[in-house]
Amino acid sequence: MTPTVKPPVSHSPIHRTVFHNGIVLLVAENPAADIIAARIFVRAGSCYENREQAGLSHLLAAVMTKGCAGLSSWEIAEQVESVGASLSTDTSTDYFLLSLKTVTADFPEILALAGKILRSPTFPETQIELERRLALQDIRSQKEQPFTLALEQMRQAMYQNHPYAMSVLGDETTMSSLTRTDLVEYHQTYFRPDSLVISIAGRLTLQEAIALVEQVFGDWQIPDIATPAINLPTITANPQHKLKPVQTQQSIVMLGYLGASVSSPDYPALKLLSTYLGNGLSSRLFVELREKRGLAYEVSAFYPTKLYPASFVVYMGTAPENTTIALEGLSTEVELLSNTEISESSLQAAKNKILGQYALGKQTNGQIAQIYGWYEILGLGIDFDTAFQELIAAVSSQDTLTAAHQYLQEPYLSLVGQEEAINSYKKS
């Protein structure tokens, strides 16, 4: 059956093609360099795990390239490295990702290898054990990092029984209990053609890309059984204070607010507020709390782009004796967003920063393949590339004030530091 090709809209360089088995192919022709990059997204990730299997998609990503369709881990690595290509797998909360990059002549061979890895992984027991040990080392090592501890404490308070509460690594208990059977069942359930988005950028034509994808993936049939619906709990705000005493040289003070998902009309305003507060050396938090008051070793804000309501977080690393005053400083700066309109010049500066960084993030074939595939797998569509820039440009000071009123009120607090610093905060 001939795939359906959607011509690019006037402002988009992307061709979108849907194959008979549900695969969505995005192609950006870029003849400037003799390189092709591809990103293959799968509707999987940690949101598709059971709570008691947290870390499953991470372990699957780690083991997936260690054996497939008659090839050993060494043979896969040799096939990739012998032509100077790169191939890797990764997972996030909202999707699974296979990334590859080659010179144009080697792309058919490496794409065929990627197809074998995606479709026929063997999950060797020895590799599972090795990758599990490495994951457990990572989990233990993160327990020694104050920032990671504070973020984990914040996530768990904010998201409770939602998958966003857990690290993609899971924890020691869940990672230790995962089996090869778990990996096989997860793969059989979620790795299917109608869950795939293949995004390619580089020196090849649309027709060449369609022919290659048809050759590698065209015979992959949609299973008779529908993908099971993921019934995630509703995320509702219930702010709490979480304090964790540890022996550390600095306190990590973190305030979190339940924000909006990427599909919400409030997303652009919150993205601008996050940039204004904590993106770079000219940001409000850096200037006010580090440069003027000397309170912070580090200070920033982040608001990740997520399918479900994301956390809006401001944090500071500070000297133990400054813990309470640092917390007051962070709180004051966030509260100002609800009480005072951001000046037009500051708002425009934040817009310029976002849009400038966004443009710089679409320079390479890998970046181009990543961003369009990412939008497609999140259900936003390739036109979101233009829509995002227009939405950011259209945000007014009143919009940011309204968003702050709605989302940035009573915060979750996560504090990690010396016991004396925590006791001092309690008394204040």
Q: What residue ranges of the chain are covered by domains with CATH 3.30.830.10?
A: 4-217, 241-427
Please tell me the predicted confidence (pLDDT) of residue 294: 86
Of the pLDDT bands very low, low, confident and very high (cuts 50, 70, 90), residue 2 is: low
Please tell me the predicted confidence (pLDDT) of residue 12: 62
As a whole number, mean pLDDT of residues 174-197 equals: 97
287 and 300 Cβ atoms separated by less than 8 Å: no
Gap between the Cα atoms of 66 and 72, Å rounded: 6
Return the half-sphere exposure (C-beta side, CA atoms, 13 A cut-off) of residue 145: 9
Q: Which residue has the higher pLDDT, 345 or 426?
A: 345
394 and 239 Cβ atoms separated by less than 8 Å: no
Q: What is the pTM of this model?
A: 0.93
Please tell me the predicted confidence (pLDDT) of residue 421: 86
3-class DSSP state of 146: helix
Please tell me the predicted confidence (pLDDT) of residue 10: 42
Give whole-number Cα distances, 207 to 75, 101, 112, in Å: 31, 19, 17
- 107-119 vs 206-217: helix crossing angle, rounded to 10: 40
296 and 316 Cβ atoms separated by less than 8 Å: yes
Is residue 200 scored above 90 in pLDDT? Answer: yes
As a whole number, mean pLDDT of residues 120-148 equals: 96
Please tell me the predicted confidence (pLDDT) of residue 37: 98
Q: Nearest 10 degrees: CA dihedral of 191, 194, 195, 196? A: 90
How much is the mean pLDDT over the chain?
Answer: 93
CATH 3.40.1710.10 fits 4-217, yes or no: no
Assign a CATH topology to domain 241-427: Cytochrome Bc1 Complex; Chain A, domain 1 (3.30.830)
- Convert the pLDDT of each residue in 96-105 to its tens digit: 999 999 999 9
Q: Parallel, antiparallel, or unpaired for β 24-29 and 196-202?
A: parallel
As a whole number, mean pLDDT of residues 398-411 equals: 96
As a whole number, mean pLDDT of residues 161-168 equals: 93
Q: Among residues 385, 428, 377, 391, which one has the least CA distance to residue 93?
A: 377
Residues ≥6 apart with Cβ < 8 Å to 238:
160
Please tell me the predicted confidence (pLDDT) of residue 9: 46
Please tell me the predicted confidence (pLDDT) of residue 13: 82
- Convert the pLDDT of each residue in 268-280 to its tens digit: 999 999 999 999 8
